[in-house]
Structure 1
Amino acid sequence: MTGSAAAPNRDPRATAARQRWPELARGLVGACHPVPGLAVTVVAVVLAAGVGLGAGQVALLGAAVFTGQLSVGWSNDWIDAARDRAVGRRDKPVAAGSVPLRAVAVAASAALLATVVLSLLLGLLPAAALLVGVAAAWAYNLGLKATIWSGATYLLAFGALPVAPYVALPGQPWPPWWVPVVAALLGFGAHFANVLPDLRADAETGVRGLPHRLGPRTGVIVMAVALAAAAVVLGIAPATTSAAFALTSSAVGVTLAVATGVSAVRAPRGPLAFRFTMAIALLDVVLLIAVTN
């Protein structure tokens, strides 16, 4: 008796779903704004390790910050989907159609829930510091980005972030006053570096935050001044630093701030200025750790 085995039944919907998963994953990665999210997470982890948190707490804080950044990135593309489509933002996965809006909405909500849980595992005070920053970022996405208060959300979010590692230490010590000030100034500069490439597209959809109201030329100046001020405060405020350290760190910070401003002028639509800002932030965290240990 001869014959051939019957071909296995294949569910076309299951096959299509398997084929779509890689595309969905790539879309979600692109929609979470990975570069700034990872940069903020690395800065937070380096600071947490530098102030003396144990490995487990450093990992927990890093996970809380990372999921918070995921929620902020995904919520940005979720909330701005119609606006991004209107101006033809092909770099935005939702606007380009490579990831469904519902998927990004679910991902943003899940990440927000995760960051709340992870933050609370660190304790009430660290959680409050971390969640204040996440709330400020969501408020920006939900509408403050189009108001004169757009910069205030960055001041609050970045100023609150370094408080969390300190108050997670035994005894919950408050950081020196200049730590959140430096972080807030860096965040304010980052706001301008992040928005300047999108001024024209934002204007077409009615977004008029602080950088839009000041204009590109003044915006570059404000950005450079904020970044330079962060370096100067970090150089002169700690009581334990020498005059040589204060002069050197201030000079390096001011030079990098000027370089960031120049890059924003020469490539106003490129990401270089924002990446310069993240590099300055990481350098300032390293210097901060050096002067507090």
Structure 2
Amino acid sequence: MPRTRALVRALVLASHPGPTAAVSMFAFAYALGAGAGVPLAALVLVAVMAGQLSVGWSNDWIDAGRDLAVGRADKPVVTGAVSPPALRAAALLAAGACIALSLALGPAAAVVHLVAVASAWAYNARLKSTVWSWAPYALSFGLLPSVATLALPDPVPAPAWTTAAAALLGVGAHLANVLPDLADDAATGVVGLPHRLGRRATSLLSVALLLVATTIVAVASSVPVVLAVVAVLAAVVLALSGALAALTRPASRWPFLAAILVAALTVVLLVVG
């Protein structure tokens, strides 16, 4: 039993629980805001969570060799708490659950969600090491709102401005997430767009994208002006604090957490509007 608990804990940690929970809850909240009832929104939640679990586990499985090479002590596969084959099995099982749950949302929503998840797997498998590292984030996050709206009884794609804002949030989060790992990534041959831009340019671009996304939603959605202004100002503070942390404390995870909080603010505007 202790060994089982230890394995479960390792799998939870290897799933990238913060981003997995955040993306899943954002999808749930947006589904509710788009008019889905609680049962349908809950189905969106579990389908998205299954996809995110598969992405998180596949990331640590595929990167196991690189993480071992640089001694990433925060990774369960490096500490020996879980093996690469176990991560591979978990990722494939989660992917199978994602397919089944996505199909339950309807054919259009299923296709869009599975394309989004496949895009994230493509990032893990190859694209993270190329100048196109940003593209899977733009595609996957941009498609996410439409997973909810296409699952409605009268399926429609999400509005273009919502799709654009979600895509910008995804790319901004990607840039912020990579910042603490620039050196380790470069040492193991991972040279994506942030590595090519450098720390300063990546930090500033992340801030710009996050703030543009929040501003788009604040302007395009039907939220009270006071709420829109407060949300944009809060996003400015969070994004700038993340950039400052990235430039002064390279190992800090605050830039990515700040990006998630900016995304949360933006989702609140979407739901309220």
TM-score computed with the length of structure 2 as normaliser: 0.95
Name the structure 2 match of 1:256.
238
Which of 125, 147, 150 is residue 142 of structure 1 equivalent to? Answer: 125
8 Å CA contact 1:232–1:253 kept in 2: the answer is no
Q: Name whichever of 240-249 and 94-103 sits farther off.
A: 240-249
Name the structure 2 match of 1:156.
139
Please tell me whether residue 282 in structure 1 is matched to residue 258 in structure 2: no
What SS class does the counterpart of residue 276 from structure 1 fall into?
helix
Is the radius of gyration larger for structure 1 or structure 2?
A: 1
Name the structure 1 match of 2:53.
70
Alignment partners' CA distance in 2, 1:278 and 1:169:
26
Q: Name whichever of 247-256 and 105-114 sits farther off.
A: 247-256
Query: Residue 173 of structure 1: CA displacement?
Result: 2.2
- The 1:171/1:207 distance shift into structure 2, 3 A limit, reads same
Please tell me whether residue 187 in structure 1 is matched to residue 170 in structure 2: yes
Alignment partners' CA distance in 1, 2:230 and 2:78:
45
Q: Name whichever of 247-256 and 228-237 sits farther off.
A: 247-256
Query: Residue 288 of structure 1: CA displacement?
Result: 1.1
Please tell me whether residue 268 in structure 1 is matched to residue 250 in structure 2: yes
Q: Name whichever of 282-291 and 134-143 sits farther off.
A: 282-291
Query: Residue 198 of structure 1: CA displacement?
Result: 0.3
Name the structure 2 match of 1:174.
157
Query: Residue 199 of structure 1: CA displacement?
Result: 0.4
Name the structure 2 match of 1:12.
none
Query: Residue 244 of structure 1: CA displacement?
Result: 5.2
Q: Give the 5 Å matches for 1:1-293.
A: 18-238=1-221, 240=222, 247-291=229-273
Give % identity: 47
8 Å CA contact 1:140–1:153 kept in 2: the answer is yes
Q: What amino acid is aligned across from residue 246 of structure 2 in structure 1?
A: A
What SS class does the counterpart of residue 150 from structure 1 fall into?
coil
Provide structure 1 residue ranges, at least 5 long, that are not aligned to the other structure: 1-17
8 Å CA contact 1:186–1:227 kept in 2: the answer is yes
Q: What amino acid is aligned across from residue 217 of structure 2 in structure 1?
A: L
Q: Name whichever of 192-201 and 251-260 sits farther off.
A: 251-260
Structure 1 residue ranges, 4+ long, deviating more than 6 angstroms after superposition: none
Q: Name whichever of 52-61 and 148-157 sits farther off.
A: 52-61
Q: Name whichever of 273-282 and 152-161 sits farther off.
A: 273-282
Q: What amino acid is aligned across from residue 248 of structure 2 in structure 1?
A: R
- The 1:54/1:205 distance shift into structure 2, 3 A limit, reads same
Alignment partners' CA distance in 1, 2:262 and 2:115:
23
Alignment partners' CA distance in 2, 1:19 and 1:268:
36
8 Å CA contact 1:37–1:70 kept in 2: the answer is yes
Alignment partners' CA distance in 2, 1:41 and 1:169:
17
Alignment partners' CA distance in 1, 2:264 and 2:164:
15
Q: What amino acid is aligned across from residue 161 of structure 2 in structure 1?
A: W
Query: Residue 130 of structure 1: CA displacement?
Result: 1.4
What SS class does the counterpart of residue 162 from structure 1 fall into?
helix
Alignment partners' CA distance in 2, 1:69 and 1:35:
11
Q: In the comparison of the two structures, how many residue pairs are matched?
A: 273
